[in-house]
Amino acid sequence: MNQYSIWRYLFIIAICSLGFLYALPNYYGHDHALQINGLRGNAIDTKLQTDVSSKLDDAGVAYKSVKIEGNSLVLRFIDSENRRVARDVIGGMFEVGDYVVAFSLASAMPDWLKSIGGKPLSMGLDLRGGVHFLMQVDTNTVKTQTEERFISELKTALRKDKVRYRSFTKSPEGGLELELTNAEMKYRAQGIVKAQFPELTTVENESGNAKIKLDVSDETLLETQKAALQQNLQTLRNRVNEFGVSEPVIQQQGVDRIVVQLPGVEDTAEAKKILGATATLEFRMVDLGGDVTAAVNGSIPIKSKLYYERDGTPVLLDKRVMLTGEYIIDASSGLEAQSGTPAVFITLNGKGARIFSRATGERIGQPMAVVYLERRNGRQIEEVINIATIQGQLSKRFQISGLDTTEEARTLALLLRAGALAAPIEIVEERTVGPSLGQDNIERGFNSMIIGMFFVLVFMAIYYKVFGLIANIAVITNVVMIVSLLSILQATLTLPGIAGIVLTVGMAVDANVLIFQRIREEIKNGNSPQMSISAGYDKAFSTIADANITTLIAAIVLFSFGTGPIKGFAVTLSLGIVTSMFTAIVGTRALVNLLYGKKKLHKLSV
């Protein structure tokens, strides 16, 4: 009686060991760090590492290490002041747009923990500091854009089949209204709509025999709005990631809202600039008649503009822009078929395709330049990335080359895709959490957990004696298991999440209180100590299970329907319920069996 087999002990030891192991990264804390990422193909290599180290040494800035970690160069510092000075020193090393230098917190855990996938807790904005935006996506604009797209496409189809119409506009009552020249044209138009545009539904229209009332189906509108929201999410992720914000949170909330959290950013104006940053292209003809040398010296022709290629070569381009990036609807990277060099494959919308087709068709045999434009930190970056002779008439899909690396091609394609939002967004809520307030929240939350645990542990040790000490070991193990799971899952720990852990501490001992009280009752009823231990665990189990399952259901509901802070509370509460069931029942039973099993007992210290 009251014995576990060896494999059960080994299983419990293995689970607890893994818990302690993956909670260990949080023991080492974080270093104040700078993270350097290369943009548009600029490499993170040992040369850059050496140059940065030398620059810091020359400036007398104290640092812990300068290492390449993944695709970034990470600089670790003793304190935030040295990090701030280092950023100012390093910022002067690079041309604007070559590299991005961002504040971050780098885990100080040893390499052997990293090698087994160890990660520290991911802390929320209320604990780390930063800015929070809640953005509303304008779904009405999505509907308008969808209707305008169908008008354009249906007009093209009608002209192709020589169907004559007087007007095709949006109706004041809603939907689209197509007025044909006669009943025969109406009949033919209805056939085209039915065959080529299943997304449009025909509504009976009594205002005229030659009119057709059309509506975009609800399913199509819903899918379009979902696609616009997802594209906006990806666009915002692309912008934030490319501009070096460390560990951002960008996620959907509800059906038409997006939450953006930027840790480490204190100025909302700066954050708005980051979210508003764009990259695009311009296509211009090369001015073959202008004097480049004279232009460099300040004598630029009236109809031309001076640009520079990536290698610094000056070039004169026509002031008139053939095509801008606003017409780009997709961009992907790959390799050019003939030369095998990196390239970006561009797709234009219908209007852009018509403009580009006409412009290139009139200039076959002439050189055309592709100008890359990006606005960052209030500065406009302009450079010529490609000059090529127009060999034929270009249209909806084409490619641009002249890029140095495949990584640069991927980055350019990504920035082009991120250049425009699928639907307008409006910031409906914004707030800033300072780093000092975040640190204060961490300290208060940690202190509340320590104080709460202290009183619980003291009470259990005094009231339940040896069994109370066993319960205390289970409580401490339970907290470690929660931290371990949060670290493994990379679930964000927030201030309400700390409250969830504190609540879990109380709930964890609740199970042991039920068990221990049951053991006391069994002893009072005259049962032997061994029988009392067995009956205490067996008879209290169903009550404990019922209480924890109902609480778990409530936590799942909170997570499903709650917003950020509520979700953080629900996550830690859910994980705490699962781990407390393991530690309070299985864990304490193993310790009790190990301590009292196979022994002839006359009394229990409970």
pLDDT tens digits, one per residue of 345-368:
888 888 888 888 888 888 888 888
Q: Which of 388, 417, 446 is the last residue of a domain?
A: 417
**CA dist 293 → 109, 265, 301 (Å):** 57, 44, 12
- Return the pLDDT at 376: 53
Task: Tell me the residue type at 172.
Answer: P
Distance CA 116, CA 124 (A): 24
CATH number for 46: 3.30.70.260
pLDDT digits (tens, 9 = 90+) for 111-146: 888 888 888 887 777 777 778 888 888 777 778 778
Domain presence at residue 325: yes
CATH number for 17: 1.20.1640.10
Instruction: Tell the burial category of 416 from Cβ atoms under 10 Å away from its Cβ (0-12, 13-18, 19+).
Output: buried
Instruction: Tell me the residue length of the chain.
Output: 606
Residue identified by tokens 């052997």 is 112
240 phi and psi angles, rounded to 5 deg: -65, -45
- Return the pLDDT at 357: 87
Together in a domain, 362 and 474: no
Domain presence at residue 349: yes
pLDDT digits (tens, 9 = 90+) for 220-268: 888 888 877 887 787 787 667 655 566 678 888 877 888 888 776 655 6
Together in a domain, 71 and 181: no
Together in a domain, 509 and 460: yes
CATH number for 400: 3.30.1360.200
Together in a domain, 333 and 475: no
Together in a domain, 154 and 39: no
Together in a domain, 592 and 458: yes
Distance CA 416, CA 258 (A): 21
Instruction: Give the CA dihedral 392, 398, 401, 407, nearest 10 degrees.
Output: -170
Tally of domains in the chain: 4
Lowest mean pLDDT among 34-43, 106-115, 321-330, 491-500: 34-43
Distance CA 78, CA 64 (A): 7
Helix (H) or strand (E) holding 186: helix 183-196
Together in a domain, 445 and 376: no
pLDDT digits (tens, 9 = 90+) for 445-470: 778 878 888 888 898 889 888 888 99
- Return the pLDDT at 111: 83
Together in a domain, 56 and 190: no
- Return the pLDDT at 422: 61
Domain presence at residue 603: no
Largest CA distance in the chain: 111
Picking from 528, 517, 515, the residue whose alpha carbon sits closest to that of residue 581 is 515
User: Are the C-beta atoms of 396 and 319 separated by less than 8 Å?
Assistant: no
Where residue 484 falls among pLDDT bands split at 50, 70, 90?
Answer: very high
Domain presence at residue 124: no
Distance CA 131, CA 271 (A): 7
Q: Which of 220, 236, 258 is the last residue of a domain?
A: 220
If you write DSSP's letter for every residue of 386-424 in order, what string do you get?
EEEE--S---SEEEE---S-HHHHHHHHHHHHTTS-SS-
Lowest mean pLDDT among 103-117, 196-210, 285-299, 466-480: 196-210
- Return the pLDDT at 402: 66
Pairing, β 122-123 against β 492-493: parallel
Q: Which of 89, 108, 127 is the last residue of a domain?
A: 108
- CA quadruple 448, 453, 458, 460: dihedral sign: positive
Question: CB count, 10 Å around CB of 3?
Answer: 9
Distance CA 14, CA 554 (A): 30
pLDDT at 573 over 80: yes
> What is the percentage of the chain residues whose pLDDT exceeds 90?
5
**Region 84-108 average pLDDT:** 75
| Tokens representing residue 3 in the block | 């014995």
User: Are the C-beta atoms of 390 and 301 separated by less than 8 Å?
Assistant: no
User: Are the C-beta atoms of 395 and 353 separated by less than 8 Å?
Assistant: yes
Domain presence at residue 605: no
**CA dist 447 → 440, 442, 522 (Å):** 10, 8, 38
Domain presence at residue 240: no
Distance CA 19, CA 68 (A): 29
- Chain mean pLDDT for the chain: 80
The three-state (H, E, C) secondary structure of 462-529, written as one string: HHHHHHHHHHHHHHHHHHHHHHHHHHHHCCEECHHHHHHHHHHHHHHHHHHHHHHHHHHHHHHCCCCH
Together in a domain, 461 and 520: yes
Distance CA 582, CA 584 (A): 6
Averaging pLDDT over each range in 131-145, 300-314, 418-432, 573-587, which range is the top one?
A: 573-587
CA angle 400, 405, 411 (to 5 degrees): 70
If you write DSSP's letter for every residue of 276-337 in order, what string do you get?
H--EEEEEEEB-TTS-HHHHHTT---TTEEEEEBTTS-EEEEESS-SEEGGGEEEEEEEE-T
Domain presence at residue 65: yes
- Return the pLDDT at 326: 67
- CA quadruple 578, 492, 428, 145: dihedral sign: negative
Together in a domain, 197 and 289: no
| Tokens representing residue 122 in the block | 């991911």
Domain presence at residue 253: no
> What is the percentage of the chain residues whose pLDDT exceeds 70?
87
- Return the pLDDT at 273: 56
- Domain of residue 172: give its range: 140-220
Together in a domain, 471 and 590: yes
The residues facing 36 across adjacent strands are: 73, 101
Together in a domain, 441 and 590: yes
Task: Tell me the residue type at 330.
Answer: D
